[in-house]
Amino acid sequence: MAKFKQNNIELRDGQKLILDSAKGQWITSDGSQASVNTTLSGVTPTEDYHLTRKDYVDSGIATLSGSLVLDHSGLNELDYASSGHTGFQPAGDYATNATVTSVSGSLQGQLDGLTVDHGELTGLSDDDHEQYVLADGTRNITGQQTMEDDLVVRGDLVVSGTQFIVEVEEVLIEDHLLTINYGEVGAGVSFPIAGIEVDRGSETNYQFVFVEDDNNFQVGISGSLQAVATREDSPSDGYVPVWDAGNYTFSTASGIALNDLATDAELTATSGVLQTDIDGKLENILEDTTPQLGGDLDLNEYYIEYTPAPASDETGSGEIATMTVDANATGVGALLYIAADGNLEEADANSTTTMPGFALALETGTGSKKVLLRGFMRDDSWSWTPGRTLYASETAGAMSQTAPVTSESQVQVLGVTTHADRIWFNPSYGTAEVA
């Protein structure tokens, strides 16, 4: 027996370890693998790297028959009733279709005890299904929801947002009354309008609304609405309606019958007195020598323009009145005062009883006459120095550019001269007495 002092025997490439030279048994290595040219004997291998005997391998192969099947579809005897299939359900632990069809006993009792009526289920009050809506309404639905089919609400529908948008072509309301501005708590419409608005795209919207400030309905282009006019409940047939502002309505109570109005044909063929009146129609206000107002004259921030240079002798332009004249020997342009009886007579600066001067006569003689209270007047017989003050004269009915100087005479300013034959008459009714 050979003995080695070292733990290992090292063979170089191509070298052999001869075990029995007589039998030619040896072990060699070419650098990549080891070769043995003789049989081995020993125990059964237990590790992957153990060498084994041929008889061990032959005995394992002897137990195999046929060829190896790697495709599952090619396997046979796969039914559950076959034994020896580790990992499959053993026979007898499952029910066949026939067994289930004829089920009875304990399993039948369990099936008979199943609850199939929803009303008999328990635990329905448990709040553990947050994806469901509670029947008592205590759980809100959050987020935007989309209904792909009809939604029927059999109770009241309360929308608490700022807009209610309906994207349909037609809205049908079965109720007999549509209430707008519902829930108003103030006295009247607080907005202050309420009504219907039509969206006209790029054009200005159209509205039909109630306007609280005007207390009426108005219709028209937004920002340019017009009041809606109503009529009386039972208008008279064939009569012309007239606006009744007190009742906000048109009324036929005026009694103007439509048949009483002339047609175009009748006006075209008119003749006689009416035709004469039409032919002599008023072309402008200058032709009306006695114009009258139906009410107060509103100047509307304009003016009354006088004519400072009347075109004719003994004419004027200003404010006049028709009064009774008891004495006027001077004629047109005479200075008149108001006598004790309220009528007019010629003023005289010599006495307080015939003063102050009140108006200028526009007509000669006595009786009901027109007088100038204030304004411009022309008299070709005058020869004034323009721009001088006018005074009441100590000559009855006359005016002067020189103030009175006689003791106890009355000094009154009447106006100013504007031209040799024209004056501005604007009397001051206060007088001063010469000492």
Give the Cα separation of 91 and 76 in Å (integer).
17
Average pLDDT over residues 287-291: 72
Q: Which of 16-25, 69-78, 287-296 has the highest mean pLDDT?
A: 287-296
Which one is predicted more confidently, 34 or 89?
Answer: 34
What are 106's two structure tokens? Answer: 């304990």
How far from 357 is each of 33, 203, 259, 339, CA to CA, in Å? 160, 70, 59, 11
pLDDT exceeds cutoff 60 at 399: yes
Phi and psi dihedrals of 60, rounded to 5?
-70, -40
Average pLDDT over residues 22-37: 72
pTM surpassing 0.95? no
Which one is predicted more confidently, 115 or 258?
Answer: 258
pLDDT bucket at 68, cuts 50 / 70 / 90: low
Q: Coil, strand or helix: which one is 401?
A: coil
Lowest mean pLDDT among 44-58, 209-223, 362-376: 44-58
**CB–CB of 415/350 below 8 Å?**
no
Strands lying side by side in the sheet with 242-244: 230-231, 249-251, 242-244
Question: What are the pLDDT digits (tens) for 229-272?
Answer: 888 888 888 888 888 888 878 888 878 888 877 777 766 665 66
Question: What are the pLDDT digits (tens) for 290-347?
Answer: 777 788 888 888 999 999 999 999 999 999 999 999 999 999 999 999 999 999 999 9
Average pLDDT over residues 408-417: 96
pLDDT at position 133 is 73
Mean pLDDT estimate for the chain: 82
pLDDT at position 87 is 56
Give the Cα separation of 38 and 27 in Å (integer).
8
In the chain, the amino acid numbered 382 is W
311 contact partners, CB below 8 Å, separation of at least 6: none
Average pLDDT over residues 130-147: 76
SS (H, E, C) 151-208: CCCCCCCCCCCCCCCCCCCCCCCCCCCCCCCCCCCCCCCCCCEEEEEECCCCCCCEEE
